[in-house]
Structure 1
Amino acid sequence: MIDETSSKPYGLQSQSRRALLGGAAAISATLLASGVSARAVPQGKASPELVPFQVNIPQAALEDLKIRLTNIRWPDKETVEDQAQGVPLSDAKALVDYWINQYDWRKFEARINTYPQFRTEIDGLGVHFIHVRSKHDNALPIIMTHGWPGSIVEFLGTIDRLTNPTAHGGKAEDAFHVVIPSIPGYGFSDRPKDLGWNAERTADAWGVLMQRIGFDRWVAQGGDWGSLVTHRLAQRRPEGLIAAHVNLPLVFQTEKLANPTPEEQQVLQSMAFLSGPAGAYAHQHGTRPQTLAYGLADSPAGQAMWILEKIQAWSDNNGNFSEALSIDTVLDNISLYWFTNTAGSSARYYWEVFQTGFGNYSAGPIDLPMAASIFAHEFFKAPRSWVERAWSNLFYWNTVEHGGHFAAWEQPELFSAELVKAFSNLR
């Protein structure tokens, strides 16, 4: 997956290793004295106001990460020659080596801090979001929601294309005002301390957020959990929401089909696979997230491979994830989970959603105007006929030649173009 021939030997050289280990006690003392966890960003008290926010992870946390990465106790090599047992040991070592020796978190911080970010309290929880206003008059406000194992990182490559289309060969009338929140329990949003933060409650919070920002007419978009949140927005229809778009229509066939078409047969097979080995992670998240969290919150390598496996499996590639996403942007996302200590809280989102009866992965009927773009390598592609039966007002449907589950992240240009086309008649 990673070109090991171009990387340095695994881990740090012994002198550098000793220097890091020698500084561990001093780093720990600094962390304790300051009250800062090396594995988490403290949850500050949020305000109903839109409070400006900047990402600034303490240097001690970065050093702690390096120390942990140099002290990994590796498992045995897998006993197969492919990825049937998970992330191969050689790929894991290559990723960690790059993480230690070449990756630069501060570069990501500088990038994300170029965008206006805020935190605000909604329903007792601090919500982090990016809000970039277009310079163009009559831009259409849009709220875009990520999923797991993604984050707001997924949408960064689309922001300028959507807010400033004229810089990318588009027209001023194609512009959007962009809002990108972190789901509760993800990124720099608070980790819920009480029950009930499911997709419905998240959708209600997004309705409050868009009203609080001042938008009285807006649209929504999402993939993965963001798709479910967007479905729930469409069903709950908060004030101002006029239409929505998803790249993963959550329309599943729950009854046995007597004579499925070849397309339906292929989709039924993918559904069966999702309920088996491919869905094992979701079963763990949805049933015992707390048990899983102990390992992932304590081991950056564990956190990394838990995420990497899905990026590898769900992105549009021929056996190497870096064909779809650069190693740096993948580590931006993994590092975000690590520094915010959200392995457990993000997994718990599955538990919360499954308590609402979403076990069959079907979101139910929608009357709001809906649009969908189906990217070629998405792991589940509902047939249009199924979607039309569930959505009474499907106004846009298109298939896209490239891209997988992480559509905005993998193909920001194609993804942005889809949103422009989908919402063109709603301007």
Structure 2
Amino acid sequence: MGWKWPLILSVLAVVAGLYLSGTFSEPPTPPPLGDGWWGKGDREKAPMVDELIRKFSISISNDTINDLKKRLRNTRYFEGLEGAKFHYGVTPEYMQTVVKYWLNKYDFKAQEKYFNKYNHYRTNIEGLDIHFVHVKPTLKPGQKSKPLLMSHGWPGSVYEFYKILPLLTDPVNNGGTAEDIFEVICPSIPGYGYSEASHKTGMNAHVVARIFGKLMARLGHDIYYVQGGDWGSTITTFMGLLLPEHVKGLHINMVVDVNPPLQLIIGSYFPSLFLPAKDHHRVWPVIPKFLEVLMETGYLHIQATKPDTIGHSLTDSPVGLAAYILEKFSNVSRLDSEDGGLNDEWLLDDLLNNVMVYWVNGNMASAMRFYKENMPLSVDDINKCQIKVPSGIADFPGEMLNQPETWARYKYINLLQYNSMPRGGHFAALEEPQLLAEDIRIFVRKVETLYK
């Protein structure tokens, strides 16, 4: 055969891979924005919706605290394995130290006061009470702030943004300039935190994007920026897709649903055909990368199929809930340590504050349902649509899914900025607030310069 036929066959395979993976195919048209009703009963029979924005404070009753402490004291532990460390998950030994701290050192009332450091509100949209934190900066005469919606993911909450909020709303005193000032809105996804859970099936990221758009309109913002990680990345991406006339810029710190399948396979043998050499290690070899993701996504398979089943145990047991959440904050690269890297990277108060959001509201089951509702979207045309609004990506090295810039541009076709961050992982706003804030600032400056 000589060298010609293998070369021709390879080229044909590459072209077929590009076509079947969507690179050469015409992207679908974005779906209509739509409307919905997620409250109890029929919309026509429901009372008239009160669209007022109502302020409220986070309050943890003494009965809730006493019940939690009783449950913690009555925890049943199992025996750990010698030398297992965190390879089997959160160890019973580590959870005993968490419980001891939770019972004896965690200051419930002090943390409640800290939660109320920022203003909390609720408003009813599509039949649900939607919660959000709203921080307005102090402006000088003639100064204008830029509206920014930030969306969390699972198993996070609006608490993820507490350390980054002052950097964005008071930039002059936190490493920025007067031009970097933002008015920040951080809503809780329906079914998470202090937002009411949907009473009907079908509450997916498309719906939440629409609801968050209505929230911004109700707050009087016609043009604004959006930012997100994890599910927040998907939600804000959909906002850019469905509301392009309102989203001035989209910034995310996690990219999903981009990897072209046949490029992944063919690239294992001919990597330089698809990516620069510096990006080869991000996606190849395919099998070890796939197995790594598979080993760390057992929770996804459970939550995308039968979330309510495990929801019973996580709603009833604070230790079970805490272990389930804390394991996601552990560092996969530090499974050989006694604490999975938790003590090195996080304050226990921060970890427990996030757990408390789920425990007090009893909504881990409704939060996990978001996976089941969104799994059909992973093969739906909406995820094949291209995002045309100005976009920026902060790629943190500790993220589970690291997408090369080349492939990110398949979807985010107006990608103004892609930065590989020096450190940090999945919960970037809480873990590396300074890095993320500066990346957002740089991105918004570019948008403001290019799209005046």
TM class, shorter-chain normalised? Answer: 0.7 to 0.9
The partner residue of 1:229 within 235, 240, 245 is 235
Q: Identical aligned pairs, as a percentage?
A: 33
The partner residue of 2:261 within 254, 265, 270 is 254
Within a 5 Å distance, the mapping from 1:208-247 to structure 2 comes to 208-237=214-243, 239-247=245-253
Rounded Cα–Cα distance in structure 1 between residues aligned with 2:443 and 2:414: 13
Judged with a 3 Å threshold, the aligned counterparts in structure 2 of structure 1 residues 357 and 375 are, in CA distance, closer, same or farther, namely closer
Residue 75 (structure 1) shift: 1.6
The partner residue of 2:434 within 413, 416, 420 is 413
* Secondary structure of the structure 1 residue equivalent to 2:129: strand
Rounded Cα–Cα distance in structure 2 between residues aligned with 1:96 and 1:360: 45
Q: Which residue of 2 aligns with 1:94?
A: 97
Residue 106 (structure 1) shift: 1.8
Q: Highest Rg: 1 or 2?
A: 2
Judged with a 3 Å threshold, the aligned counterparts in structure 2 of structure 1 residues 97 and 53 are, in CA distance, closer, same or farther, namely same
CA contact (8 A) 2:282 2:402 kept: no
Count of matched residue positions in the alignment of Structure 1 and Structure 2: 383
Q: Which residue of 2 aligns with 1:159?
A: 165
Corresponding letter in the other structure for 2:346: L
Rounded Cα–Cα distance in structure 1 between residues aligned with 2:371 and 2:411: 23
Rounded Cα–Cα distance in structure 1 between residues aligned with 2:96 and 2:207: 40
* Secondary structure of the structure 2 residue equivalent to 1:130: strand
Within a 5 Å distance, the mapping from 1:129-144 to structure 2 comes to 129-136=132-139, 137-144=143-150
Rounded Cα–Cα distance in structure 2 between residues aligned with 1:361 and 1:214: 28
Corresponding letter in the other structure for 1:125: L
The partner residue of 2:322 within 297, 304, 311 is 304
Question: Does 1:190 find its partner at 2:196?
Answer: yes
Residue 416 (structure 1) shift: 0.8
The partner residue of 1:61 within 54, 61, 64 is 64
Residue 260 (structure 1) shift: 2.3
* Secondary structure of the structure 1 residue equivalent to 2:386: coil
CA contact (8 A) 1:314 1:404 kept: no
Rounded Cα–Cα distance in structure 1 between residues aligned with 2:381 and 2:89: 25
Rounded Cα–Cα distance in structure 2 between residues aligned with 1:315 and 1:132: 36
Judged with a 3 Å threshold, the aligned counterparts in structure 2 of structure 1 residues 80 and 322 are, in CA distance, closer, same or farther, namely closer
CA contact (8 A) 1:252 1:362 kept: no
Rounded Cα–Cα distance in structure 1 between residues aligned with 2:101 and 2:379: 39
Judged with a 3 Å threshold, the aligned counterparts in structure 2 of structure 1 residues 292 and 360 are, in CA distance, closer, same or farther, namely farther
Judged with a 3 Å threshold, the aligned counterparts in structure 2 of structure 1 residues 215 and 360 are, in CA distance, closer, same or farther, namely closer
Judged with a 3 Å threshold, the aligned counterparts in structure 2 of structure 1 residues 289 and 394 are, in CA distance, closer, same or farther, namely same
Where does the alignment leave 5 or more consecutive residues of structure 1 unmatched?
A: 1-44
CA contact (8 A) 1:316 1:324 kept: no
Q: Which residue of 2 aligns with 1:203?
A: 209
Rounded Cα–Cα distance in structure 2 between residues aligned with 1:46 and 1:340: 23
Residue 257 (structure 1) shift: 2.7
> Per-residue CA shift, 1:11-43, capped at 9, x if unaligned?
xxxxxxxxxxxxxxxxxxxxxxxxxxxxxxxxx
TM-score by length of 1: 0.85
Where does the alignment leave 5 or more consecutive residues of structure 2 unmatched?
A: 1-47
TM-score by length of 2: 0.80
CA contact (8 A) 1:51 1:118 kept: yes
CA contact (8 A) 1:162 1:175 kept: yes
Corresponding letter in the other structure for 2:438: A
Q: Which residue of 1 aligns with 2:415?
A: 394
Question: Does 1:348 find its partner at 2:355?
Answer: no
Question: Does 1:284 find its partner at 2:302?
Answer: yes
- Range with bigger deviation, 393-402 or 81-90: 81-90
Corresponding letter in the other structure for 1:266: R
CA contact (8 A) 1:316 1:403 kept: no
Judged with a 3 Å threshold, the aligned counterparts in structure 2 of structure 1 residues 415 and 190 are, in CA distance, closer, same or farther, namely same
Judged with a 3 Å threshold, the aligned counterparts in structure 2 of structure 1 residues 316 and 424 are, in CA distance, closer, same or farther, namely farther
Q: Which residue of 2 aligns with 1:25?
A: none
Judged with a 3 Å threshold, the aligned counterparts in structure 2 of structure 1 residues 154 and 144 are, in CA distance, closer, same or farther, namely same
* Secondary structure of the structure 2 residue equivalent to 1:170: coil
